[in-house]
Amino acid sequence: MAIKERKQSDIQQREQEGRGLLVRGGSSEELRDILVAVYGTLKRGFGNHLLLSTAVFVSKAKTERKYPMVIHGSGLPFLVEKKGIGHNVDLELYLVNKDELNQLDMLEGHPDWYKRKKAGVVTPEGDVLMPYIYFAPDSYFSKRENLYETYDYGQDM
């Protein structure tokens, strides 16, 4: 079996077992096996990306289903779990460890504000993965909102 096919088979098996990819990241020997997708201020070039400075970038991706992403007056994006409304939203995928996931949960106010849930995403190569995505409360969406495919408000880059 070719290396790429074996890698894809390993990814699919880990996904079926509820685990993400498994890598050693940065200078740490700590394993990073939790896949998360980010769409806003945690992306590269934005202020909160510092929380992912030791995470392992995996790929760009898009949500498999359409979701509404709104940007309120504060300039912060909110992805609402209303499937079929909006766009296939642009994402970045990262592998994190449990401590990094806890830091992200604190930033996003999970589980009291944003909810961290698994959702399908598609990489540019066509791979479908199931990372965690942070969804805002349903009340953040109204039919009068402008809906966005990507977040680039005030980007540092």
Active site residues: 108
What is the rounded CA–CA span in Å between residue 80 and residue 117? Answer: 11
- CA distances 110 to 8, 17, 86, 107, 128, Å, are 31, 23, 23, 8, 25
The closest of 134, 122, 109, 141 to 40, measured between CA atoms, is 134
